[in-house]
Chain A
Amino acid sequence: MATELIRIPILQIEDFLVASIQVALHDRSAVQFRDDLLQRTYETKARGLIIDLTAVDIVDSFIGRLIGDVAEMAALMGTRVVVSGLRPAVAITLTELGLELPGVITALNLEKGITILRRLVQEDEEMEGSEP
């Protein structure tokens, strides 16, 4: 495979990590992205994670499943995941593939994603506070 490995930048904003996918990912880059994302989540102990797919116009079953996997894995590490900015065509493709990402919280755009994430993290903190 001569395809170049693409690294997706993962930005930290306060407690959250933001990863915006701007290019079509092939499988190897996607796996790299998953590893990077989980590694960064572990290092920064981020409370929330947003994967922004606004610029993505094609998604195949592998990438679709991978996004679902990342959400589940991050949840195991105590991080909330929001996927934002899915395009109509991508959403249709995913439902037709049967990948409805049941465990993933979705948002219309990055801004709404952050709002939702803030609320979720706040709820978590309140629950943690009331537990002991």
Chain B
Amino acid sequence: MSLTFAELLAQNKGSIVQELAQMVKVQAGPTYASVPLEQLLPRMEEVFDYTYEAIAQDDPRILRGFVVAVVSQRVAERYALQEIQTLISLLREIVLRYLEEAYQDDPPQHLDNARQLEDLAHHARQAAFEVYIESFEEQSEVQRRALAEISTPVIRVYENVLVLPLVGAIDTERAHRIMEELLTGITHHQAELVIIDITGVPLVDTAVANHLLQTIKAARLLGTRSILVGISSEVAQALVHLQIDISGVVTRSNLQAGIEYALEQMGLEIAPQAEILLPAAQEKHLESEEGHPPAQRR
């Protein structure tokens, strides 16, 4: 009964790895289940080697470093956190069983070893957990930024005319971003007119209206006029009920009317092409182009 913990592990390496691989394949979860056993074996051997090193040198950091590196890769391969946690638990269980057998007659030593094993398992779990949390935070940050980018598109529809289509609820933080994006867009494009389309804004309360008015005033300071379009009947009712005065702002029913107004302000208009005004000429044009009479056309 003179074997140390590390020696015990070394002696039983083959059977522990074999057992672990089989249990992981069956119990750990769908992603592990889909991995063939011959591929799983070398991976479990690696896990075992690092565990052995950590126990032999009594330094959980050895295993920790390995866990961080491997789990980062597993996250990318879409392993669930639960699967990783199960793997750690399974290894712990197997090793604990070997310990129990070997140290039946030496409870104090068994307790020491078990404590070391628990400590190691705890470190490994925590490391795996941290990697997952970190990757989730990263992911949600990327998504948040992507959402912020698409939530305030400033589109140039014509020379000197910008459109700002707003979709979704507007809170204070978003309102600030909208203002910044719009004003930057204005100076970038040197736009003289901005059409703010609020068709997609479901709710306009005093705060939202105030933010919009502030944005319009700030745009005016740059030397740009704003046109507010897409006020729905509900929003119009709300504005009147809340006694919000937007009389200083040009409003139009929809984006089309807004664009027409903007062009008019610049002395331009959208006019039909002369050709389309004359249906006969158009038919003739089609006929000569496609080579068959208009009667055959549906």
Contacts and interface: CB of A to CB of B under 8 A. Distances in A.
Contacts of A95: 214, 217-218, 221
A91 B190 contact: no
Interface residues of B, number: 18
Contacts of B222: 86, 88, 91, 106, 108
Interface string A84-99: 1011101110111000
A100 interface: yes
Interface string B219-236: 111111000000000000
Nearest to A53: B221
B190 A108 contact: yes
Contacts of A109: 190, 223
A86 B186 contact: no
A105 to B, nearest CB: 8
A50 to B, nearest CB: 11
A121 interface: no
Q: Among the interface residues A84, A88, A90, A101, which one has the most CB atoms of the partner chain B within 10 A?
A: A88
Nearest to B216: A95
B183 interface: yes
B186 A108 contact: yes
A83 B217 CA distance: 14
Contacts of B217: 95, 100
B197 interface: no
Interface string B177-213: 0011001101100111000000000000000000000
Contacts, number: 53
B221 to A, nearest CB: 4
A107 interface: yes
A92 B179 contact: yes
Contacts of B224: 108
B201 to A, nearest CB: 20
Contacts of B179: 92
Contact of B183 (A88, A100, A101): A88
B223 A86 contact: yes
Contacts of B190: 108-109, 112
B223 A88 contact: no
Nearest to B176: A92
A88 B220 contact: no
Given A87-B187, A91-B183, A92-B183, A108 B218 contact: no
A88 B184 contact: yes
Contacts of B219: 91
Contact of A88 (B180, B191, B192, B214): B180
Q: Among the interface residues B191, B217, B218, B221, which one has the most CB atoms of the partner chain A within 10 A?
A: B221
A41 to B, nearest CB: 21
Interface of A: 83-84, 86-88, 90-92, 94-96, 100-101, 106-109, 112-113
27 contacts: A83-B221, A86-B221, A86-B223, A88-B183, A88-B184, A88-B186, A88-B187, A88-B218, A91-B183, A91-B219, A91-B222, A92-B183, A94-B218, A94-B221, A95-B214, A95-B217, A95-B221, A100-B220, A101-B221, A106-B222, A106-B223, A107-B223, A108-B190, A108-B192, A108-B224, A109-B190, A112-B223
Given A100-B217, A106-B220, A106-B223, 16 more contacts: A86-B222, A86-B223, A87-B187, A88-B184, A88-B186, A90-B221, A91-B183, A91-B218, A91-B221, A94-B218, A94-B221, A95-B217, A100-B220, A108-B223, A109-B223, A113-B223
The 6 closest A-B pairs by CB, nearest first: A88-B183, A106-B223, A107-B223, A91-B221, A91-B218, A108-B223
